[in-house]
Amino acid sequence: MSEKIANKTTKNPVKKILNKSDFDELLTVLKDMQYELYGPQLKDDAIVYDLLSSQEQLPQNISDDQRPGQYSVSDTQTGRWFAWANAVQGIKPLVFVPVEKLWSATHDTEIGLSFNPVDVSEKPRAIIGVRNCDLAGLRLQDQHFLEQEYVDPYYQSRRQNLFLVAVNCTHPAATCFCHRTGDGPIANNGYDLVFDELEDVFVVSAGSDKGQDVIDLLPVIDSREHHLTQVSLQRQQVNKSQMSSIKPMTDIDIQKKLNFNFETDAWDDIAKRCLACGNCTSVCPTCFCYSERDVPATGEDKLDLSISTYIREWDSCFNQSHSYIHGIVIRPETKFRYRQWLSHKFSTWFDQYGRSGCVGCGRCVTWCPVGIDVIEVIGTVCEKRECSEEKEVNDD
Amino acid sequence: MINPHLPMVATIVERAQETPDIFTIKLDVNNIQRAGSEQRNDRLKRNTGVVTDENLIDDAITKKIPFSFSPGQFNMLYLYGVGEIPISIVSDPDDELVGHTIRVVGRVTKGMGHLKVGDQLGLRGPFGRGWPLKQAEKKDVVIVTGGLGCAPVVSVIHYIIRRKSDFGRLIILQGVKHSADLIWKSQYEQWALEPDVEVRVAASQSCTDSETKSWPWYSGHVTNMIKDFSYDPENTIAMMCGPEPMMIAAVNALTKEHVKEDSIFLSTERNMQCAVGHCGHCQFGSQFICKQGPVFSFPEIKKLFGKKGW
């Protein structure tokens, strides 16, 4: 499975130059290959991925400002098209879709009950302008939906037909912390093409044979020394800006310190602020929870009893119904739900998938209506943990 | 590829009303192609590295292989137009029909309560990990249950009694709240007559006089009866099911009698929707109960078990 999906890296990717004025050529080539194109664009004052038909739609001269509980965009005359950190949603909805039909059932008094699968073969999709945090999120979703005991056929059909054009991040937001989770800001693999944006050109290289095939059809020229120097300088700068003064927490440290089997009043404190709205989980590129339900069909003015559709939709561990079981809610209080989310994302995810479930995109911080900063919470909880450990030692 | 989300059709062949709100249905599932077989075979190939005969695999998929499960596993049952729920299997793996005992508690079970013989359900399964029956062979088996938590262990009781020569002593400790809650009373009486089988039933809440007269067993908590037996720690395996506080009390009572923690197995429950380890509802620490469970050895879940909010 994984071999089929992993983008094979070509051995010595030669960096090429694509003029910005030729960017539409890329879209044309991909369209000719029957890809449905998605790309970042400004909609309702926010950057989102949507159907893309022309480079005009890209967020040119737009920059984003993200802080805890705040998001805004502004015009910048940089001449850049990708001078923003990340889109409101990552690329998750294009692979693990928010609401989808799983199957339908029909009931007929003569024939009885029958189940009808939905056609899961989707049109191949190409996504332009993918950030490394989102590629990392996709990798975690692959692990969950494709590399365990059961394979999810719905996810698989979209995933295996994806063509990913990464654009390296040059403008991380104040909420970003991908360097702490080891997921950025520069893309290393998992893409078909990767772009570094300079003033008038893109420096392009392939990450897969599919990507190389596309480059071969583009009006590109070989890169010059000065292009590569600029790229390298730009990458150094962005890396530096991501290395904030606070020292990176190593993964193992967090896992150990957040070890879920402990009680602390830190959870009570956070529950006083957390609204359990689930915004954090709905923008998270790695959250995978979904609920399933039956949707009876409606006719013109009444229920159509002959067919019923079974759907799934994104769920959140912040919803009361998430832990419902025969009349009981296992996590009735917000503190339990917050603890479940945080301990899963940063601690038990290691046991399940060998790393943390956070890719440092910072969306949960930006889109939290009360501006809870997850890194701050981890700090508080870990601090309390250390205190309680000391106390245990003293008590002994 | 076979879709693990797609149910197959199962027909109700028998139906019994156990109490006003508990019923048992027996389903015919053998005429239906097995969902998930292909994935299981793929997995087998991957895990063992053995290239199996492709024809054999094809045969298994297309030719109605019998529905096989191990006691302690569960199925997802779908009621047309209403929804799908996880229900443990109560029948023996060798039975022709697949049995489920269901208590009416929610929307789906309420609807299922109205089904009659000949009606059809959707079924996916079996899912999860059942009881450690291989490990239990030649050993004494203690079964502690509370309430309708008995459903997952009824399958294992049947299994052991039918294959009694493979096992040692069988001690069945069943707890209910009120004496009237006990279903399958005659079944317990029948099990008690089997050689090398001990049956004790306890009702934890005081009974009325007339009930006490007809209640041949113990009044009090089921876990208080654990100490009435002696156990060889090297040779005893415990399996339990029921409310978490009851199971914790049972684990404490058993370990006090020197039964080893890793010989104690518990059947656990959480919200389950996909049953394939994807939807996230049954997460318990780092475990997905639908996949790694529902049966766990005590050390596997000790850290969080019985603690509020997990």
Interface contact A294-B81, CB threshold 8 A: yes
| Average pLDDT of span A42-53 | 97
- Can you give the pLDDT at residue B177? 80
Interface contact A335-B84, CB threshold 8 A: no
Q: Which two tokens stand for residue A167?
A: 């654009």
- Can you give the pLDDT at residue A191? 97
Using DSSP, state whether B82 is helix, strand or coil: coil
The DSSP annotation for A223-258 comes to --HHHHHHHHHHHHHHHHHHS-SSPPPPHHHHHHHT
% of chain A exceeding 90 in pLDDT: 71
Chain B residue numbers touching A159 (CB-CB < 8 A): none
CA distance A136 to chain B (A): 19
- Can you give the pLDDT at residue A70? 96
Q: How far is A95 from A126, CA to CA, in rounded Å?
A: 11
- Can you give the pLDDT at residue B271? 95
Instruction: Compare all CA atoms of chain A with the CA of B109 and give the residue at the minimum distance.
Output: A326
- Can you give the pLDDT at residue B207? 58
Q: How far is B182 from B167, CA to CA, in rounded Å?
A: 26
Interface contact A150-B276, CB threshold 8 A: yes
Instruction: Compare all CA atoms of chain A with the CA of B123 and give the residue at the minimum distance.
Output: A115
Which residues between 96 and 155 in chain A have a beta carbon less than 8 angstroms from any beta carbon of chain B? 102-103, 105, 107, 112-115, 117, 120, 144-145, 148-153
Distances, alpha carbon A227 to alpha carbons A173, A189, A205, A334, in Å: 25, 21, 13, 52
- Can you give the pLDDT at residue B189? 86
Chain A residue numbers touching B1 (CB-CB < 8 A): 151, 153, 156
- Among the ranges given (B63-72, B187-196, B255-264), the one the predictor scored with the smallest mean pLDDT: B63-72
Using DSSP, state whether B51 is helix, strand or coil: coil
Q: How far is A120 from A9, CA to CA, in rounded Å?
A: 28
By the CB < 8 Å criterion, does A272 face chain B? no
CA distance A339 to chain B (A): 9
| Average pLDDT of span B220-230 | 86
- Strands A125-130 vs A36-43: parallel, antiparallel or unpaired: parallel
- Can you give the pLDDT at residue A262? 62
| Average pLDDT of span A299-328 | 89
Cβ-Cβ contacts under 8 Å between A and B: the total is: 136
- Among the ranges given (A21-30, A118-127, B93-102, B164-173), the one the predictor scored with the smallest mean pLDDT: A118-127
- Decide if pLDDT at B183 tops 80: no
The full length of chain B comes to 310
What average pLDDT does chain A have? 88
Contact A330, B270 (CB under 8 A): yes
Among the partner-chain residues A261, A350, A351, the one whose CB lies closest to the CB of B304 is A261
Which residues between 323 and 342 in chain A have a beta carbon less than 8 angstroms from any beta carbon of chain B? 323-327, 330-331, 333, 335-336, 339-340
Higher pLDDT, A250 or B73: B73
pLDDT digits (tens, 9 = 90+) for A217-247: 999 999 999 999 999 999 998 888 777 645 5
- Can you give the pLDDT at residue A110? 84
pLDDT digits (tens, 9 = 90+) for A163-181: 999 999 999 999 998 888 8
- Can you give the pLDDT at residue A304? 79
Give me the domains of chain B, ranges plus CATH numbers: 8-127 (2.40.30.10), 133-301 (3.40.50.80)
- Helices A374-395 and A334-343: angle between axes, nearest 10 degrees: 90
- Can you give the pLDDT at residue B205? 74
CA distance B63 to chain A (A): 19
- Decide if pLDDT at B213 tops 70: no
Which residues between 229 and 268 in chain A have a beta carbon less than 8 angstroms from any beta carbon of chain B? 260-261
Higher pLDDT, A269 or B56: A269
| Average pLDDT of span B289-304 | 95
By CB atoms closer than 10 A (0-12, 13-18, 19+), residue B284 is buried
| Average pLDDT of span B293-310 | 93
Interface contact A149-B307, CB threshold 8 A: no
By the CB < 8 Å criterion, does B279 face chain A? yes
Instruction: Compare all CA atoms of chain A with the CA of B37 and give the residue at the minimum distance.
Output: A150
Higher pLDDT, A258 or B122: B122
Q: How far is A66 from A363, CA to CA, in rounded Å?
A: 9
Strand partners of residue A19: A201
- In this predicted complex, what is the ipTM? 0.89
* pTM for this model (two decimals): 0.89
Chain A residue numbers touching B83 (CB-CB < 8 A): 292-294
Interface contact B310-A330, CB threshold 8 A: yes
- Interface probe for B, chosen from A141, A150, A268, A304 (most Cβ of B below 10 Å), is A150
Closest CA to A255 of A358, A337, A331: A358
Neighbours of B131 (CB within 10 A): 25
Using DSSP, state whether A2 is helix, strand or coil: helix
Provide the residue type at A82 as one letter.
F
Interface contact A336-B6, CB threshold 8 A: no
By the CB < 8 Å criterion, does B45 face chain A? no
User: Over the range A313-326, which residues count as b (16 or more CB within 10 Å of their CB) and which as e?
Assistant: ebbbbbbeebbbbe
- Decide if pLDDT at B259 tops 90: yes
Chain A residue numbers touching B274 (CB-CB < 8 A): 290, 292, 312
- Can you give the pLDDT at residue B1? 58
- Interface probe for A, chosen from B286, B288, B289, B300 (most Cβ of A below 10 Å), is B286
pLDDT digits (tens, 9 = 90+) for A325-348: 988 999 999 999 999 999 999 989
Residue with the two structure tokens 């053998």: B30
- Can you give the pLDDT at residue B31? 58
- Can you give the pLDDT at residue A2? 44
Chain B residue numbers touching A260 (CB-CB < 8 A): 285, 303-304, 310
Nearest 5°: CA angle at A208, between A123 and A170?
Answer: 95
- Decide if pLDDT at B200 tops 60: yes
By the CB < 8 Å criterion, does B283 face chain A? yes
By the CB < 8 Å criterion, does A159 face chain B? no
Interface contact A150-B278, CB threshold 8 A: yes
pLDDT digits (tens, 9 = 90+) for A53-104: 999 999 999 999 999 999 999 999 889 999 999 999 999 999 999 999 999 9
Which residues between 133 and 192 in chain B have a beta carbon less than 8 angstroms from any beta carbon of chain A? none
- Decide if pLDDT at B30 tops 60: yes
- Decide if pLDDT at A5 tops 80: no
- Decide if pLDDT at A258 tops 80: no
Interface contact A333-B271, CB threshold 8 A: no
User: Over the range A358-395, which residues count as b (16 or more CB within 10 Å of their CB) and which as e?
Assistant: bbbbbbbbbbbeeebbbbebbeebbebbeeeeeeeeee
Distances, alpha carbon B163 to alpha carbons B151, B168, B266, in Å: 19, 10, 22
Distances, alpha carbon B6 to alpha carbons A54, A185, A294, B67, B276, in Å: 40, 40, 13, 16, 12
Tell me the pLDDT band of B255, cut-offs 50, 70 and 90.
Answer: very high
Tell me the pLDDT band of B35, cut-offs 50, 70 and 90.
Answer: very low
- Decide if pLDDT at B87 tops 80: yes
Contact B133, B162 (CB under 8 A): no
% of chain A exceeding 70 in pLDDT: 88
What average pLDDT does chain B have? 84
Q: How far is B222 from A345, CA to CA, in rounded Å?
A: 39
Residue with the two structure tokens 């904030």: A244
- Interface probe for B, chosen from A157, A292, A305, A356 (most Cβ of B below 10 Å), is A292
| Average pLDDT of span B203-207 | 71
- Strands B74-79 vs A328-329: parallel, antiparallel or unpaired: unpaired
Using DSSP, state whether B54 is helix, strand or coil: helix
Tell me the pLDDT band of A120, cut-offs 50, 70 and 90.
Answer: confident
- Can you give the pLDDT at residue A253? 64
Higher pLDDT, B225 or A121: B225
Interface contact A117-B6, CB threshold 8 A: yes
Among the partner-chain residues A103, A120, A150, the one whose CB lies closest to the CB of B39 is A150
Interface contact B36-A351, CB threshold 8 A: no
Cβ neighbors of A51 (< 8 A, separation 6 or more) are A36, A37, A38
- Can you give the pLDDT at residue A248? 54
- Helices A23-32 and A209-216: angle between axes, nearest 10 degrees: 120
Contact A258, A342 (CB under 8 A): yes
